[in-house]
């Protein structure tokens, strides 16, 4: 279900990728493989807290340097940095977040065009069926 | 691709969407006027009603997919204001009313008239309580903890404190719920006043024994009736928090863990407005192992809630299913082949629950796949289960609203003179277009469910595209379920055969 990523195949990795570094002062680190949903830290306005995770075996996920949460890609991890640890980011990380968010915004725009097209088609289709049935 | 300004994109999208809406009437509302739940011939065929319902759910998901701003979603879910504490006198009044009602129902059931529609016990239980009070619970707020007569009576008895594991609690509540619904379907039991009161007294004995053995946790965690009201109450705009009542948007509480059972380590305030001073919920601060055990138990209770929600959704469906002509055909065929009638009903009740549970779990597993996420499947199951509640509530309203309104005058008249009611009782005849209200209730329940699941997805998954993609399996299931449930509700109502 999830692709195994070779450690060298990280197109989104920045030159100063911190995923290999484990700073000692991370009080809200998850144990390996994801702990219970309540062990991890995170912003106080998240009622459910950080979700527990389950990494498929023999996968090497990108991990968040602040809370050790695993992600299937560096891009996703960078988005998480912006979502959950915005206050604690270094300048390079903030730049990476901005860049990935920009790319996501473009993807989101294309997706929204498809959504609007689907809405139009669905409603027009229903209207035609009604017109046909009620005539 | 060149970078476009987000504001311009939003304006374009909004204008297109508005134009589409303005040009096309909403088919769901336009045809509702010609349908009646009691089965006169409609202008719009049943299949088109179902198709429209499914289409509306699909469109509501598509519109939700246009809302991707984390802050907006969080703000909407957190909107609300404190209403202040509940006055103790009001609680006392509610308790007294609950016990008085219970005593009156038992008395009138035993000595009152034997015609079900003239007996206050039958009317009060099915029309007043099961239809009316439940609707009030999910539309306004859950008052059951105060009104519950068994809880008031149990307070007079010695309270035990035997611990019930969350799994056992869930097994008892789900089993109890299935049993109660089965009894409700058995018409001799539900319509004959004496038999009904006998069932009420049997339930009273069981629940009081449970309350004595388990203590206060019985009504909070095990008793099926209290659990139903507690879960339905989470849809309502008025919520009970650690410090009084809070008014928020309907369904907003479903995006959070329950305020009345906060996560260990949080104070017992609303999850949205936590107390400014932090602190452990254990009096002694607790060791790390004890805290971990608390969290494990809390998580197990949430998993139990998820299972119970699926059971609740199934039993509301089952209630409607056994009143359809299609079921009658199937049941007659099965009994004709030699299957015992009661065994058939019990088997369908259990198998249907299994199908719903497996279906929900499968949808959660697929959600992890379509969202391409490492979030664990139990996490998804627990977080998204509450979003199913508005579906059950919408179905309950569609099923019971015309029944409630048409028999409410009878209830009022019989209540004034329970032991010798007049021979002809007033019944409200509803206008022909009223069937449309039920259909709207089902669709509204599903739309609210889509909105709640959308908010939870943004809470759980990362970024703005992944949460939307994670919803595909749920939306597919919801569209199918809406289609089937609209078909069920638009069928003429038939008495369930053989029971």
Q: pLDDT tens digits, residue range A29-51? A: 333 333 333 333 334 457 888 89
pLDDT, chain B, mean: 85
Contacts of B17 in chain A (CB under 8 A): 116, 119
Residues 464-493 (B) with a CB less than 8 A from some CB of A? 464-466, 468
The size of the A-B interface in CB pairs under 8 A is 138
User: How far is residue B19's CA from residue A120's CA, in Å, rounded to a whole number?
Assistant: 10
Interface contact B462-A49, CB threshold 8 A: no
- Token pair 């629940």 is found at B207
* In chain B, % of residues over pLDDT 70: 87
CB contact (8 A) between residue A123 and residue B59 = yes
**B-chain residues near A105 (CB < 8 A):** 6
The model's confidence at residue B277, banded by pLDDT at 50, 70 and 90, is very low
pLDDT of residue B306: 96
What is the per-residue pLDDT across A18-27, written as a single tens digit (0 to 9) for each?
333 333 333 3
Answer whether B319's CB lies under 8 Å from B182's CB.
Answer: no
Best A4, A101, A126 member to test B by mutation, with max B CBs in 10 Å, is: A126
Distance CA B415, CA B125 (A): 12
- Chain B positions touching A108 (Cβ under 8 A) are 68, 464-465
Q: Which of A116-125, B7-16, B181-190 has the highest mean pLDDT?
A: A116-125
CA distance B219 to chain A (A): 25
pLDDT average, residue stretch B278-284: 48
Per-residue CA distances from B12 to A113, A116, A117, B19, B344 (Å): 10, 10, 13, 11, 56
**What are the pLDDT digits (tens) for B43-52?**
778 888 889 9
Cβ–Cβ gap A83/B70 under 8 Å: yes
pLDDT at B261: 84
Cβ within 8 Å, pair B43-A123:
no
The arithmetic mean of pLDDT across residues B311-324, rounded, is 91
Per-residue confidence band for B262, with pLDDT thresholds at 50, 70 and 90: confident
Position B21 pLDDT exceeds 50: no
Quote the CA–CA distance of B160 and B218 in Å, as a whole number: 10
pLDDT of res. A45: 57
ipTM score for this prediction: 0.78
pLDDT at B282 over 90: no
Residue B194 Cα to chain centre, angstroms? 29
Q: What are phi and psi of B317, to 5 degrees?
A: -65, -45
Give the per-residue pLDDT at A13: 36
Structure confidence at residue B366 (pLDDT): 96
Q: What is the pLDDT at residue A90?
A: 92
Angle at B394 between CA B388 and CA B395, to 5 degrees: 95
pLDDT at B2: 44
| Nearest neighbour of A112 by CB, restricted to B1, B66, B379 | B66
**pLDDT in the model for residue B24:** 40
Query: Positive or negative CA dihedral for B348, B351, B354, B359?
Result: negative
State pLDDT tens for residues A88-135: 889 999 999 999 999 999 999 999 999 999 999 999 999 999 999 988
Whether B151 contacts chain A with CB within 8 A: no
pLDDT (tens digit, 9 = 90+) per residue, B241-261?
A: 877 899 999 999 999 999 888
In chain A, DSSP finds a helix count (H) and a strand count (E) of 2, 2
Q: Is the dihedral of CA A102, A103, A105, A109 positive or negative?
A: positive
Tokens of A96: 């990476």
Cβ contact, residue pair B379, A52, below 8 Å: yes
User: Tens digits of per-residue pLDDT, B484-497?
Assistant: 888 887 777 888 88
What integer pLDDT is reported at residue B7 of this predicted model? 56
pLDDT the model gives residue A53: 92
**Candidate from A47, A70, A106 with C-beta closest to B271:** A47
* A42-79 pLDDT, tens digit each: 344 578 888 999 999 888 999 999 999 999 999 999 99
> Which of A55, A109, A123 is closest, CB to CB, to B24?
A123
pLDDT, residue B487, reads 82
Cβ separation of A47 and B27 shorter than 8 Å? no
Question: What is the DSSP code (8-state) at residue B386?
Answer: G
Left (φ > 0), alpha (ψ -120 to 50) or beta: where does A80 sit? alpha
pLDDT of residue B9: 57
Is there a contact between A27 and A41 (Cβ–Cβ < 8 Å)?
yes
Is B288 in CB contact (< 8 Å) with chain A? no
**pLDDT tens-digit map of B416-455:** 888 888 888 888 888 888 888 988 999 999 999 999 999 9
**Interface mutation vs chain B, best among A31, A51, A72, A102, most B CBs within 10 Å:** A51
- Where are chain A's structural domains? 15-106
Q: Do A119 and B20 make contact, defined as CB atoms within 8 angstroms?
A: yes
> From the CA of A27, how many Å to the nearest CA of chain B?
14
Asked if B62 is an interface residue toward chain A (Cβ–Cβ < 8 A), one would say yes
Mean pLDDT to the nearest integer, B193-202: 93
Which range (B93-102, B147-156, B276-285) has the least confidence? Answer: B276-285
Is the CB of B16 less than 8 angstroms away from the CB of A115?
no
pLDDT of residue B260: 82
Alpha-carbon span B319 to B94, nearest angstrom: 29
Percent of chain B with pLDDT over 90: 56
Residue B39 pLDDT grade (very low, low, confident, very high; cuts 50, 70, 90): very low
Mark B298-312 as b/e (b = at least 16 C-beta within 10 Å).
bbbbbbbbbbbbbbb
Nearest to B261 by CA among B211, B316, B224, B216: B216
The pLDDT-based confidence of B16 (bands split at 50, 70, 90) is: low
User: B79 CB near a chain A CB, below 8 Å?
Assistant: no
* B68:A108 CB<8 A: yes
Q: Which two tokens stand for residue A82?
A: 């912006």
State yes or no: pLDDT of B127 exceeds 60. Answer: yes
Contacts of B67 in chain A (CB under 8 A): none
Of the candidates A106, A109, A122, the beta carbon closest to that of B59 is on A122
The CB-side HSE value for B206 (13 A sphere, CA atoms) comes to: 15
Q: What is the DSSP string of B75-117?
A: HHHH-EEEEEPPPHHHHHHHHHHHHHHHHHHHHHHHHS-S-GG
Rounded distance between C-alpha atoms, residue B314 and residue B320, angstroms:
10
How close, in Å, is residue A25 to chain B by CA atoms? Answer: 19
Quote the pLDDT of residue B8: 57
> What distance in Å separates residue B216's CA from the closest CA in chain A?
26
Contact (CB<8Å) B256/A115: no
């Amino acid at each position: 279900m999830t692709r195994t990523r070779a450690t060298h195949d990280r197109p989104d990795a920045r030159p100063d990728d911190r995923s290999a570094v484990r700073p000692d002062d991370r009080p809200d680190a998850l144990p390996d493989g994801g702990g219970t949903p309540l062990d991890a830290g995170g912003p106080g306005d998240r009622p459910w807290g950080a979700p527990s995770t389950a990494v498929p075996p023999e996968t090497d996920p990108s991990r968040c340097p602040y809370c050790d949460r695993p992600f299937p890609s560096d891009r996703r991890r960078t988005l998480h940095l912006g979502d959950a640890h915005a206050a604690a980011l270094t300048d390079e990380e903030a730049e990476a977040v901005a860049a990935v968010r920009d790319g996501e915004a473009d993807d989101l725009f294309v997706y929204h065009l498809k959504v609007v097209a689907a809405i139009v088609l669905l409603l027009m289709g229903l209207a035609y069926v009604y017109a046909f049935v009620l005539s | 691709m060149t970078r476009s300004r987000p504001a311009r994109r939003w304006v374009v999208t909004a204008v297109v969407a508005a134009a589409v809406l303005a040009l096309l009437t909403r088919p769901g509302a336009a045809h509702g006027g010609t349908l009646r739940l009691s089965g006169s011939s409609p202008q719009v065929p049943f299949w088109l009603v179902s198709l429209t319902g499914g289409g509306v759910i699909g469109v509501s998901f598509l519109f939700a997919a246009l809302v991707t701003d984390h802050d907006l979603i969080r703000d909407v879910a957190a909107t609300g204001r404190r209403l202040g504490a509940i006055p103790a006198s009001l609680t006392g009044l509610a308790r007294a009313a609950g016990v008085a009602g219970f005593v009156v129902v038992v008395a009138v059931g035993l000595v009152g008239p034997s015609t079900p529609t003239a007996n206050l016990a039958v009317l009060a239980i099915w029309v007043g309580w099961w239809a009316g009070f439940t609707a009030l619970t999910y539309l306004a707020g859950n008052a059951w903890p105060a009104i519950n007569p068994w809880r008031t009576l149990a307070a007079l008895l010695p309270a035990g404190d035997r611990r019930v594991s969350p799994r056992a609690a869930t097994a008892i509540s789900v089993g109890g719920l299935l049993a109660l619904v089965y009894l409700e379907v058995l018409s001799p039991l539900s319509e004959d006043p004496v038999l009904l009161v006998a069932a009420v007294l049997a339930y009273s004995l069981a629940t009081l024994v449970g309350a004595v053995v388990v203590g206060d946790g019985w009504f909070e965690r095990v008793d099926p009736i209290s659990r139903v009201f507690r879960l339905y109450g989470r849809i309502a705009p008025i919520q009970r928090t650690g410090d009084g009542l809070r008014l928020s948007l309907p369904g907003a509480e479903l995006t959070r863990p329950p305020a009345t059972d906060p996560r260990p380590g949080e104070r017992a305030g609303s999850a949205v407005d936590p107390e400014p001073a932090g602190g452990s919920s254990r009096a002694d601060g607790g060791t790390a192992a004890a805290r971990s055990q608390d969290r494990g138990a809390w998580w197990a209770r949430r998993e139990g809630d998820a299972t119970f929600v699926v059971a609740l959704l199934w039993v509301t469906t089952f209630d409607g299913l056994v009143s359809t002509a299609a079921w009658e055909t199937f049941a007659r065929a099965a009994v004709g082949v030699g299957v015992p009638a009661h065994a058939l009903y019990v088997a369908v009740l259990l198998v249907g629950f299994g199908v719903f549970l497996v279906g929900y779990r499968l949808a959660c597993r697929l959600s992890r796949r379509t969202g391409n996420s490492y979030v664990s499947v139990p996490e998804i199951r627990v977080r998204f289960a509450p979003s199913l509640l508005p579906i059950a509530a919408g179905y309950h309203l569609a099923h019971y609203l015309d029944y409630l309104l048409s028999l409410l005058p009878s209830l009022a008249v019989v209540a004034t003179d329970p032991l010798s009611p007049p021979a002809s009782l007033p019944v409200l005849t509803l206008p022909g277009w009223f069937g449309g209200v039920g259909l709207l209730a089902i669709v509204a329940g599903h739309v609210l469910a889509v909105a709640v699941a959308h908010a939870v997805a943004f809470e759980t998954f990362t970024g703005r595209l992944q949460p939307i993609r994670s919803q595909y399996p749920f939306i597919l299931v919801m569209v199918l379920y809406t289609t089937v449930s609209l078909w069920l509700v638009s069928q003429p109502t038939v008495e369930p055969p053989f029971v």
